[in-house]
Amino acid sequence: MKDARIQVRILPLLRGKIHVTEVNVKGLSVVLLEDEKGAVNWSSGISDKSPPKTPSQAKPPSEKSELKLQSDSFVLAKLLLEDISVAYHRHGMPESIQFKIEECTGAMQAGRPFTLSMKGKLLQQPYIAKFEIGSLQELVEENKSWMEIKTEILDTRFEFSGAIDLDKVTKSLKLQAAVTGDRLDSLNKLLNLDLPPLQSYRTGALLTIRKDRIDLSDFEIKVGKSELVGKMVIDKSGLRPKSTIELNAPLIQLNDFDVGDWSPGKSSSEKPATDGNKKEQSVTDASKVEKASSDEKVDKLLSPRVLKDFDMEMNVKVDRVLSGSDELGSGSLTANLKEGRFSIDPVKLNIPGGSLFLAASLKPDKNAPEASIRAVMKNFDFGVLVRRANPKAAMGGLVNLDVDLRSSADSFDTLMTKGNGHFDFSGRLENLKAGIIDLWAVNLIAAIVSKEDENASKINCVVGRWTMKGGLLTPEVFLIDTSKIRICGKGQVDFTKEQLDLKIAPFPKKPEYFSLATPIEVKGKFTDFGLGIQSGGLIGTVVKFISSLVTTTLQRLVGKELPADGKDVCEIPIGPENRSVKLPEGCK
């Protein structure tokens, strides 16, 4: 320390009051060290606990010697700190944490708030901060106090304020917080996090704590033009604490959440271990351990014991969702947790051209666990998603979904392994060309020599009607229909063993010369499956290819062509009704 000066008035001190006229410190440097054993240089290690006094040693307080807090018990006329630096280093840290106060001024006069202003650097990043704390007069006379903090660093503004009421009847604590910034990932280095690159954001809330009740009001999250507001109440006066959450989003613009290549699990350190990046590999291993620990925490959170400890009701409403200029609709969600059962009942979305209904329930009971999911989507225009990737794309179409699964699983992750029910989907597609698929089953020579867009077929629809029993998913109907061929699949997906075993074969809508039409199969584990030619398929393909001059001529004379628009299959209904659909032509 280069220089320090403290001045205290003597007369107020004789009356039990501390009146400081000046505190001036310049050039103070502090280095805090912690070694690999946890020993630190700011503690002697000697216990500061003194032996308890015996009853004979303890002296009763004298009424004359008691000091009462008054509005001028502490006064600080001038505070000035300059060139103050603190460095903390722990064993194994690549670099020390540096905190520097270039200048700090403050004062606390009788009957006035304590004010403090400072500027400096934190981790080499400039910051400014202002503090205000309620005066002793408010605390003594009104039994209340308050505090306000405003800080700016890395183009991010932090605002905190709090008020405490110590009155026995209305005792409460209020905390208001808000964070505003131009770009969220600018805080990555400061916080040692990997935050998404969200721009023009603001978040804030008011927390009020009273006896048996916690209120979170004025809650808001804003990113660009998107906004989410709401409130939350935790009532602890009943047999079980109950939480009520109300959220409303006047507008959600998906373009505001375009984060580019960023993803929560992405890390530049996730590379194969080599001599040159052993350090990075150790970071990756630590990340895996952290993820496993996080998964374990989630499992504990959804355990029967925890879910039975409290009740919850949540309502979320979204008035309008946009993707650029595309209207994606609106929706609402109602979720409940009561007596150990978590349910989403329902999610309702008004989507372009149609609607989505989703309901789910989970009760992770050790003796009789239950899980279910019901989803119905009607006429969703998937062209909205295509235009997000390529605004000039003309592809589109309507997609439908009907899912009804029930299971004795104790979590949604294992619902499919013990599931029973159906999983159906269908889609009528527009302006989507089959491209290289034509080489598979159409006239090979014609497909090669023709121009790309001249004779390319178009995909009409996709239809899947799948039945699940005991975790085994099998297709009743699974096909892709184009204007020239029909591709059909059969087999099974075993979620218990996590294995695929599917066979897919093309069928030309009219007999073609020199057509390959080789069946292929998808087989193996979910995490390691292969795509190959079905056993015996290659020999059969060669025979058909050579003999196509004769067989194709005869088939064209007596055979029946399938409709180019796929009208015989694209209207196959999905859902719980009429499950025994006759296999369409080409899929037998």
Residues 150 and 133: beta-carbon distance below 8 Å? no
Report the pLDDT value the prediction gives residue 191, as an integer from 0 to 100: 83
Write down the residue that tokens 């709090």 correspond to: 162
Mean pLDDT of successive 10-residue stretches along the chain, which has 588 residues: 94 91 95 91 68 56 62 92 94 89 95 95 94 91 92 95 85 93 89 88 94 92 94 89 93 88 59 46 50 51 64 92 84 88 86 85 80 90 73 80 89 82 89 59 44 65 92 91 86 91 82 56 82 51 42 49 85 82 75
Residues 87 and 30: beta-carbon distance below 8 Å? yes
- Indicate the helix (H) or strand (E) that contains 565: none
User: What are the start-end ranges of the E strands in 382-458?
Assistant: 396-407, 420-430
Neighbour count for residue 422 (Cβ, 10 Å)? 19
- For residues 133-152, one letter each, b for 16 or more C-beta atoms within 10 angstroms of the residue's C-beta and e for the rest, the string is bbbbebbeeeeebbbbbbbb
Query: CB-based contacts of 455: which residues, under 8 Å, 6+ apart?
Result: 438, 446, 447
Task: Give the separation between CA 98 and CA 394, rounded to whole angstroms.
Answer: 55
Report the pLDDT value the prediction gives residue 246, as an integer from 0 to 100: 95
- For residues 268-285, one letter each, b for 16 or more C-beta atoms within 10 angstroms of the residue's C-beta and e for the rest, the string is eeeeeeeeeeeebeebbe
Strand-pairing partners, residue 175, are: 162, 207
Task: Give the separation between CA 481 and CA 462, rounded to whole angstroms.
Answer: 6
Report the pLDDT value the prediction gives residue 115, as an integer from 0 to 100: 96
Report the pLDDT value the prediction gives residue 273, as an integer from 0 to 100: 45
Polymer length of the chain: 588
579 to 243, 314, 487, 572, 582: CA distances (angstroms): 42, 36, 21, 10, 9
Query: Which DSSP string do the residues of 66-120 spell out, in sequence order?
Result: -----TTSEEEEEEEEEEEEEEEEETT-SS-EEEEEEEEEEEE-TTS-EEEEEEE
- Indicate the helix (H) or strand (E) that contains 579: none
Query: Which DSSP string do the residues of 13-26 spell out, in sequence order?
Result: HHTT-EEEEEEEEE
346: preceding bond cis by omega (within 30 degrees): yes
Q: Spell out the SS3 assignment of 496-559.
A: CCCEEEEEEEEEECCCCCCCCCCCEEEEEECCEEEEEECCCHHHHHHHHHHHHHHHHHHHHHHC
Lookup: tokens for 173: 């604590």
* Domain range summary for the chain, segments of one domain joined by +: 1-40+70-134, 431-588
Strand-pairing partners, residue 361, are: 343, 372
